């Protein structure tokens, strides 16, 4: 049945856009399996693409051919969100081994500010001491004791730290100061994790190097957010685009909604910004009828089996999928 759908006219008129986030350097996939996968699984996925003779094409080329009706059979495009350092150290070497083109939706604030991403790093640090209850926390403005036994209670602590830092309009350096203190409080070696660039983005030099090697860098907002106010929203696009232009020397016109969050009013603002395509995290294959500013993707995680992954490549997955719309914000799973 897979083969019949895979080689059908229906599938030939569709582009499957794959979405990845981080590739673990250590144990990040155990912390957030929906965000990170171990390099071995990515390697397996790319091997499936190669062995199944799927046509992995660049995103821009794929979208153009989708529009003209000239897609090769079994077309797939590969995208990575955020542009973490682990793309440089883990994902890119694998993609190069297979010779597959790739698009990275690069957010730029943290690539200029070389510190770990605040909210994610706090969550990761707390997870490292999961199962414990610590008689500390008041120094950081969170309730004491800190209950690290469930993901939900750890998430509450992260929310408190994030909301506190927003209320006080803390700078990046001040937020990083909190992360450093949190690590010390938890007895975790902050310097070792930051030396390894865990939960950090690629630097401008690394982005420039990969762009020279053929990696396509596109828009994901400067600060990984989509304000509901038009001028602020458009500033996010402009700042992101200008910074990428300085680094890679070309103008980015493809966009990916941070965290998969989109609203009806964003579409007109994106058109004004000359953005030609925008991808969501909703599951599906794109056809010529799909709004180019609401392109579905398959968010591939280590929770998916190889069989499920293949079913999506062939097109059956989209027929069988029950939940197609992505949750719009992170909700910790019940323990
Ligand atoms: Zn993102």
Q: What tens digit of pLDDT does each residue of 122-131 get? A: 999 999 999 9
Q: How confident is the model at residue 24 (pLDDT cuts 50, 70, 90)?
A: very high
Q: How confident is the model at residue 335 (pLDDT cuts 50, 70, 90)?
A: low
What average pLDDT does the segment 239-253 reach?
97
Q: How confident is the model at residue 161 (pLDDT cuts 50, 70, 90)?
A: very high
Q: How far apart are alpha carbons 180 and 193 in whole angstroms?
A: 11
Which among 67, 82, 117 is positioned nearest to 256, based on CA atoms? 82
- Beta carbons of 281 and 19 less than 8 angstroms apart: yes
What average pLDDT does the segment 35-47 reach?
97
For residue 286, the CA-to-ligand 1 centroid distance in Å is 20
For residue 326, the CA-to-ligand 1 centroid distance in Å is 13
Q: What pTM did the predictor assign?
A: 0.94
For residue 76, the CA-to-ligand 1 centroid distance in Å is 20
Q: How far apart are alpha carbons 292 and 76 in whole angstroms?
A: 16
For residue 154, the CA-to-ligand 1 centroid distance in Å is 21
- In the predicted model, what is the mean pLDDT of the chain? 94
For residue 106, the CA-to-ligand 1 centroid distance in Å is 8
Q: What are all long-range contacts of 237-241, with beta carbons under 8 Å and residues at least 24 apart?
A: 237/269, 237/270, 237/273, 237/275, 238/273, 239/108, 240/106, 240/107, 240/108, 241/273
Q: What tens digit of pLDDT does each residue of 171-196 get? A: 999 999 999 999 999 999 999 999 99
Residue 3 confidence (pLDDT): 81
């Amino acid at each position: 049945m897979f083969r019949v759908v895979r080689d059908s006219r229906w599938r030939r008129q569709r582009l499957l856009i794959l979405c990845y986030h981080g590739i673990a350097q250590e144990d990040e996939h155990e912390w957030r399996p929906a965000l990170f996968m171990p390099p071995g699984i990515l390697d397996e996925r790319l091997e499936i693409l190669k062995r199944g003779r799927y046509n992995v094409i660049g995103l821009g080329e794929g979208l153009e051919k989708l529009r003209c009706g000239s897609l090769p059979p079994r077309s797939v495009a590969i995208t990575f969100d955020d542009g973490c350092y682990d793309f440089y150290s883990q994902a890119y070497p694998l993609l190069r081994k297979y010779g597959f083109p790739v698009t990275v939706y690069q957010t730029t604030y943290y690539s200029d500010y070389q510190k770990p991403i605040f909210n994610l790093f706090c969550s990761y640090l707390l997870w490292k001491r999961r199962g414990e209850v610590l008689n500390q926390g008041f120094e950081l403005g969170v309730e004491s004791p800190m209950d690290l036994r469930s993901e939900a209670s750890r998430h509450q602590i992260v929310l408190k730290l994030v909301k506190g830092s927003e209320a006080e309009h803390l700078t990046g350096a001040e937020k990083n100061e909190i992360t450093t203190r949190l690590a010390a409080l938890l007895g975790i070696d902050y310097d070792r994790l930051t030396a390894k660039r865990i939960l950090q983005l690629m630097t401008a030099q690394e982005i420039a190097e990969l762009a020279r090697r053929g990696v396509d860098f596109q828009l994901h907002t400067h600060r990984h957010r989509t304000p509901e106010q038009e001028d602020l929203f458009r500033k996010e696009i402009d700042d992101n685009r200008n910074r990428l232009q300085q680094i890679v020397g070309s103008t980015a016109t493809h966009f990916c909604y941070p965290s998969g969050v989109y609203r009806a009013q964003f579409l007109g603002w994106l058109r004004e910004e000359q953005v030609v395509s925008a991808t969501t995290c909703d599951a599906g294959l794109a056809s010529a009828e799909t709004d180019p500013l609401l392109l579905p993707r398959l968010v591939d995680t280590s929770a998916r089996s190889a069989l499920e992954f293949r079913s999506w490549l062939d097109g059956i997955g989209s027929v069988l999928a029950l939940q197609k719309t992505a949750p719009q914000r992170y909700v910790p799973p019940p323990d």
